[in-house]
Amino acid sequence: MRIAVDAAGGDHGPAIVLPGALEGARRYGVDLLLTGPADEIRAALAKQNAAGIDIEVVDAPEEIGMEDQPALAVRRKPRSAIALALDAVRDGRADALVSAGNSGAVMAGALQKLGRIRGIDRPAIAGYLPSMKGKTLVLDMGAVTDPRPQHLVQFAQMGSIYIERALGVSNPTVGLLSNGEEPSKGNALVQETFPLLAAAPGVAFYGNVEGNDITRGVVDVVVTDGFTGNVALKTAEGAAALINETVRRRLTANLWRKGLAALLYPAFREARKQLDYAEQGGAPLLGVDGVVIISHGRSNERAVASAVGVAKLAVEGDVPGTIARLMATLQPAPRPEMALG
Amino acid sequence: MRIAVDAAGGDHGPAIVLPGALEGARRYGVDLLLTGPADEIRAALAKQNAAGIDIEVVDAPEEIGMEDQPALAVRRKPRSAIALALDAVRDGRADALVSAGNSGAVMAGALQKLGRIRGIDRPAIAGYLPSMKGKTLVLDMGAVTDPRPQHLVQFAQMGSIYIERALGVSNPTVGLLSNGEEPSKGNALVQETFPLLAAAPGVAFYGNVEGNDITRGVVDVVVTDGFTGNVALKTAEGAAALINETVRRRLTANLWRKGLAALLYPAFREARKQLDYAEQGGAPLLGVDGVVIISHGRSNERAVASAVGVAKLAVEGDVPGTIARLMATLQPAPRPEMALG
C-alpha cells in the first residue's frame, strides 16, 4: 500500500511533514508517494533515516497557500502538491492522500479529481473528540455549513460505515446533536432530520444528544451540520486550553507547588496523551471516491504519522467502496424509459 | 430592592433554593419575595437564619414540572411559583425574578406576563463562559434556535447594554460566532448577519470569532443562534468534565500520586473556583420588559445566591429600560396617517 503525502502542506512544511510521514510509513508498514518541491524533499530526505521505506517523489513546483481560493486552487495550480497527489490517488499510483495543507483546497480538489460517491450529495469531514469511553466520531466538522436533512442522514450512514470498517466498532450508534434530548428539541434542521434518521437504513439511531454527551461517549457517532460541528470542536479545544492554562498557573504559583507538580508530571503527561487530538492526527473526508485524510494545519510530526495510520485503516477497510455499496442499494432503480434512452 | 425567587424551582426545590436565596439576600442586601408552597417555605425558613431579611411569602399551590409544556405552563397554572413571581414583577411588588425551574416555562411566562421590549423581536438568554481574561458573555444560549439576521443584531445590542450597565464593561466588543475568522466564513445566517452587525448602532463589532476565541476572551460579547450557543456551552462543559475526570484518575492512580495531589488541593480548588459556572449562577433573559434571571436546574446554594446578585446588578443598571431607550431611537417614526387613525 502506498500513501500519498502532501509534503508541502501544513504550517511547517516539509520540515515537519516529512519526518512525520517517514515515521508513519515505518510504524504502519506502508510505502510513500511524496509531492512537493522535489529538491527540498530530497534534501530533507537525505537528512532522515528512510531506510526500508519505498519512496516515490513527485515534483510539484506550484504552491497552494492558505490564501488561495479553495474552489479554484487545484484547477489553477495543477502542478501543486495537492493536485498531483490527488492525481496519483485517482490513477491508482497511491491508495490514499494525507494533507495538512489548505483544507478547503483539498476538499474541492478531491471533489474535482476523485468525484463524489454516487448517492452522496455532500462529502463530510469526520473528526474525533476524546470521550470517557475512548473517542467519539463527529461529522461534519466544517465541510457543509448549511446541509439539508438528507445530507445529515448520509453523514450518519458514512460515519457508521467508517467507524465500523476502519475502526472495528461493531453496530455503532448514532446521535443527532441538539440542544436537548427530547425529539421535539432542536433547530428546524434537527427537527426535520430526526424522523429521517430514525428510519434510515444502515443507521442505529440513538436519538438526540447534547453537547456534553460528545465527551461522555453516549454514542459512537455524532451527526451535525459543519458549522455547529466546527464550533463545538473549537469550543472544546478552547475550554481545554483554558483549563490547562488556569491549572498550570495555579500549580506554578509558588516554589512549593512547582516542586510538587513536577513530581506529578508523569500523571499530567498521561492525562494529556489520553486527551490529545494529535493522537488522532487526521480526519477523513467521507463521501469522495477515494481515501483522503485531512490533517490539522498545525500538525506536528506525531500527528502526520498518525494520519498515515488513519489512511491505512480506511484503505484496508475499503471505506469508499463500502459506502458506495450501501448507497447503491438505496438508489432508485433506473427508470426503463431512461435506460432505453 | 425586592427580588422574587421561585422557591419551588430547580432539581432540589426549596431545600437548596431557600438557603441560596437567603444567602444571596444577605450578601447583596436585598429583600425577598418567595413563591412556592407556603407551608413548605415557612417550615424551611424556620430552620434557617433569616434574621434581618425582609421576606414576603406568596403561596403557590400549583406545580410546574420539567414535563410541563413550556408555552402553556404559566397560563394553565396561574397559581404556580413561576406565574405568581412574574405577577409580582409585573405589578412592581418585586424588581426581578430568579428561577431555577423549567426554563422554557419561565421564558414563555415572562413573554406573556411582562411582554417584549418594543423593538425586540426575540428575547435571548445571555450566559457566561470563563475566559483567559475573566469571562465572555454569549447569547443566545437556547431561547431562539432559528433566529434571523436582525435577531442576532438585537442580541448584540442587548448583550452590549447588559455587559455595560450590569457589569461596568465600557465599550464592549462583539464577535459573531463562526467557523472561521474571515468575513466570508459562516453558514448562511452568519454571512447575512455580518454586514448588518458591522453597521448596527450600539454595537462595537469585532468581526467573526471561532469557538476557541470564546475562552480566549477575544471579545466581551459573542453572538450566535440559540442552537449553536447551547451546543457550544454544553460541549465546553463536557470537555471540562472529561479533563477533570481524566486528570483525577491519573492523579489517584497510586498512593504516591494521591498524597502529592492532596498537597496540591488548594491549587486545584483555586483553578476550579476560577472556572466554575456556579460563580455566575444565573443567565439573564434579555428583551423582556423586566429583569428575569434563569438559573441552572441543578443549581446549588451558591449558584442561587449568585443569581440574586446577577438580578440586583441588572436592576441597578436598569438593563430593560436602557434596552428600551436604545430601541426607541431605532424605531421608524410613526407614519402620520397612522397617528391620525
| pLDDT tens for each residue of A287-319 | 999 999 998 767 788 889 999 999 999 999 999
Enumerate the residues of chain A whose CB falls inside 8 A of the CB of residue B179.
142, 145, 226-227, 230-231
Whole-number pLDDT of residue B301: 86
The predicted pLDDT at position B66 comes to 78
Q: Do A246 and B142 touch (CB under 8 A)?
A: no
Mean pLDDT, chain A, rounded, equals: 92
Q: From CA A328, how far away is CA A318, in angstroms rounded?
A: 15
* Helix runs in chain B, H state only: 14-28, 38-46, 70-76, 81-90, 103-113, 149-165, 188-198, 211-216, 226-251, 255-263, 265-275, 301-316, 319-330, 336-340
Q: Which pLDDT does position A5 carry in this prediction?
A: 96
Query: Is A262's Cβ below 8 Å from some Cβ in B?
Result: no
Nearest residue to A136 (alpha-carbon basis) of A339, A306, A340, A280: A280
CB contact under 8 A, A239 and B239: yes
Q: What is the largest CA-CA distance in chain B?
A: 84
3-state secondary structure of B234: helix
Residues of B in contact with A180 (CB under 8 A): 230
The ipTM, to two decimals, is: 0.91
Q: Which of residues 7-66 of B touch A (CB under 8 A)?
A: none
CB spacing of B232 vs A227 below 8 angstroms: no
B190 touching A (Cβ < 8 Å): yes
Q: Do A227 and B228 touch (CB under 8 A)?
A: yes
Beta pairing, strands B291-295 & A55-59: unpaired
pLDDT of residue A65: 81
Min Cα separation A176/chain B (Å): 12
> pLDDT tens across A10-34, in order?
777 788 889 999 999 999 999 999 9
Q: Which residue of A103, A193, A243, A273 to mutate against B (max B Cβ within 10 Å)? A: A243
The answer to whether the beta carbons of residues A280 and A310 sit under 8 Å apart is yes
CB of A274 less than 8 A from some CB of B: yes
Q: What is the mean pLDDT of residues A119-124?
A: 96
Residue identified by cell 462595537 is B204
- Is the per-residue pLDDT at B337 higher than 80? no
Spell out which residues of chain B touch residue A262, defining contact as CB-CB under 8 Å: none
Domains, chain A, in order of start with CATH, read 1-120+287-341 (3.40.718.10), 130-278 (3.40.718.10)
pLDDT of residue A334: 59
Measure the CA–CA gap between A200 and A220, rounded to whole angstroms.
16
Do B236 and A239 lie within an 8 Å CB cutoff? yes
> Chain A: residue nearest B235 by CA?
A211
Q: B157 pLDDT exceeds 60?
A: yes
Average pLDDT of the residues in B295-323: 91
pLDDT above 90: residue A68: no
Of B61, B58, B65, nearest in space to B42 by CA: B58
Distance CA B207, CA B173 (A): 9
Whether pLDDT at B25 is above 90: yes
pLDDT 10s digits, B28-41: 999 999 999 999 99
Judged against a pLDDT cut of 70, whether residue A236 lies above it is answered with yes
What pLDDT is stored for residue A278 in this prediction?
Answer: 47
By C-alpha distance, the chain B residue nearest A218 is B238
- Which residue among B210, B240, B244 sits closest to A234, beta carbon to beta carbon? B210
Nearest C-alpha neighbor of A277 from the set A107, A127, A99: A127
The residues with which A176 forms a beta bridge, in sequence order, are A208, A223
Q: Which of the residues A152, A235, A269, A296 would you substitute to probe the B interface, choosing the one with the greatest number of B C-beta atoms within 10 Å? A: A235
Put simply, the chain A residues between 153 and 182 with a CB less than 8 A from any chain B CB are 177-180
**What's the Cα-to-Cα distance from A112 to each of A73, A74, A83, rounded to whole Å?**
11, 9, 10
Q: Give A243's contacts in chain B (Cβ within 8 Å).
A: 239-240, 243-244, 271, 275
Nearest to B169 by CA among B333, B317, B9: B317
- Rounded CA-CA distance B49/B52 in Å is 9
Which residues on chain A are in Cβ contact (under 8 Å) with B186?
145, 227
Residue A142 has its nearest CB partner, among B179, B216, B228, at B179
pLDDT value of residue A279? 62
Establish if B216 touches chain A: CB-CB under 8 angstroms. yes
Summarised one tens digit per residue, pLDDT across range B89-145 is 999 999 999 999 888 999 999 999 999 999 999 999 999 899 998 889 999 999 999
pLDDT value for A52: 87
- The three-state secondary structure class of B209 is strand
Instruction: Give pLDDT, residue B336.
Output: 57
Beta strands A291-295 and B221-223: pairing type?
unpaired
Compute the average pLDDT of residues B69-93. 94
DSSP state at residue B55:
E
Residue A337 pLDDT exceeds 60: no
Contact B124, B139 (CB under 8 A): yes
Say whether residue B267 is in contact with chain A using an 8 A CB cutoff.
Answer: yes
Residues of B in contact with A127 (CB under 8 A): none
Chain B residues closer than 8 Å to A253 by CB? 267
Cβ(B217)–Cβ(B206) under 8 Å?
no
Residue indicated by cell numbers 422557591: B7
Residue found under cell 504502519: A28
The CA-atom distances, in angstroms, between B109 and each of A149, B143, B291, B304 are 32, 13, 13, 20
CB contact under 8 A, B231 and A225: no
Look at A212 and B131 and tell me if their CB atoms are within 8 Å. Answer: no
Cβ of A275 within 8 Å of Cβ of B246? The answer is yes
Which phi and psi angles does B97 have, rounded to 5°? -120, 135
A227 touches B at CB < 8 Å: yes
| Torsions phi, psi for A291 (to 5 deg) | -95, 115
The answer to whether B63 and B56 are in contact (CB under 8 A) is no
The 3-class secondary structure across chain A, one letter per residue, is CEEEEECCCCCCCHHHHHHHHHHHHHHHCCEEEEEECHHHHHHHHHCCCCCCCCEEEEECCECCCCCCCHHHHHHHCCCEHHHHHHHHHHCCCCCEEEECCCHHHHHHHHHHHCCECCCCCCCEEEEEEEECCEEEEEECCCCCCCCCHHHHHHHHHHHHHHHHHCCCCCCCEEEEECCCCCCCCCCHHHHHHHHHHHCCCCCEEEEEECHHHHHHCCCCEEECCHHHHHHHHHHHHHHHHHHHHHHHHHHCCCHHHHHHHHHCHHHHHHHHHHHCHHHCCEEEEECECCEEEEECCCCCHHHHHHHHHHHHHHHHCCHHHHHHHHHHHHCCCCCHHHHHC
pLDDT attached to residue A222: 98
Across the interface, which of A145, A236, A250 has its CB nearest the CB of B179?
A: A145
Within 10 angstroms of residue B65's Cβ, the number of other Cβ atoms is 12
Q: Which chain A residue has its CA at the smallest distance from B129's CA?
A: A239
Cβ neighbours of A93 (radius 10 Å): 14
Which of A216, A225, A270 is nearest residue B250 as measured by Cβ atoms? Answer: A270
pLDDT at B341: 43
Q: Quote the pLDDT of residue B278.
A: 47
Strand partners, B124: B286
